Amino acid sequence: MNLKRTLCCFTYLSLSIGSVNLQAQTLQPALQNIREVTSGNMEYSSPVWSPDGQKLLFTDHHNDALYITEIAGNGSVQKIKEGQGIGYKARWTPDSKSVIFYEQQTTVTGSRALVEKSIDVKGGRERVLSEDKSATANRSFSARKSPSLKVYINPETLKLEARVGNGTPWVITPEEGQFYSPLISPDGKKVVVSEGANMYLYSIDGKGKRKNLGVGLPSSWLPDGSGILTFEDESKDGHEISGSELYHIAISNSAKTKLTNTLDRIEMWADVSPDGKKIAFSDEKTGKIYVADLKIKK
């Protein structure tokens, strides 16, 4: 199968446990009771917990569909929408009843627009939330506690920017570079963003110095903001992903813990449940979605 690739600069990395700097730490995260929550022969990726903790949203390896499954169900999967790229960074509404996604549209005159929509999980009713026809249109992200705050990559400068509502934007990342994959903290005050193969922690207000969190791709914050989940993929030929493991990074001291160490799975795109007690992740080798208990001893 052709696995979904991350950015080229990252897939060329060849990592091993011996090359990772695992720091002494007070937190001791670990995964327990790993179990598959999808059934059938379809291949899925990038799970996202619903705010009520009862369902998972995920897409396929090409981000071209939206699926959901009930955690307490029998593993059956419901497709709620398909379309080019709609699965990328799709998210739940706060009431867990709808999913928000972006859709590229072309008008009869040939102009393009980035349309933000929601779709009801039951019934499939769609609503248009916003429409952006500007040259700098891009997906924006917000924190649950600060929904009016929008963080996004400017497609012209490739810098990370923010704005409140329709207010004047400001630059978060003054350094030169190509930034991607921003991840906002639950309180809306910090953001982790990738540049090259490394992850950096910034204050969203754009003040202070950035903090280097090391190599990896960020995928989820813990609900209390104490840490993030990341993954590190590798490629033997520079084209297809041959391996990947999940890690926990403590924000306070950048201490890093390896959570998985398997040869039969390619673990990526982990997401922490709203109560912080479980994670969901995708195996990019088989296309299965797994859930595991997250234990953090203090």
Per-residue pLDDT tens for 149-189? 999 999 999 999 999 988 999 999 999 999 999 999 999 99
d(C-alpha 68, C-alpha 96), whole Å: 11
Task: Please state the rounded mean pLDDT for residues 25-46.
Answer: 88
Residue 22: pLDDT above 90?
no
Domain ranges of the chain: 8-297
Assigned architecture for domain 8-297: 6 Propeller (2.120)
Quick one: pLDDT at residue 27?
A: 61
d(C-alpha 114, C-alpha 133), whole Å: 6
Quick one: pLDDT at residue 244?
A: 94
Quick one: pLDDT at residue 241?
A: 81
Task: Please state the rounded mean pLDDT for residues 221-244.
Answer: 88
Quick one: pLDDT at residue 298?
A: 67
Considering the entire predicted model, what is its pTM? 0.87
Convert the pLDDT of each residue in 59-111 to its tens digit: 999 999 999 999 998 889 999 999 999 999 999 999 999 999 999 987 777 77
Task: Please state the rounded mean pLDDT for residues 205-222.
Answer: 96
Task: Please state the rounded mean pLDDT for residues 41-67.
Answer: 97
d(C-alpha 198, C-alpha 188), whole Å: 21
Q: At 143, list the tokens.
A: 């924190």
d(C-alpha 98, C-alpha 57), whole Å: 10
Q: Count Cβ atoms below 10 Å from residue 242 Cβ, excluding itself.
A: 15
Residue 4: pLDDT above 60?
no
Q: At 262, list the tokens.
A: 């398997």
Residue 11: pLDDT above 50?
no
Task: Please state the rounded mean pLDDT for residues 128-150.
Answer: 87
Confidence of residue 26 (pLDDT cuts 50, 70, 90): low
Task: Please state the rounded mean pLDDT for residues 105-124.
Answer: 88
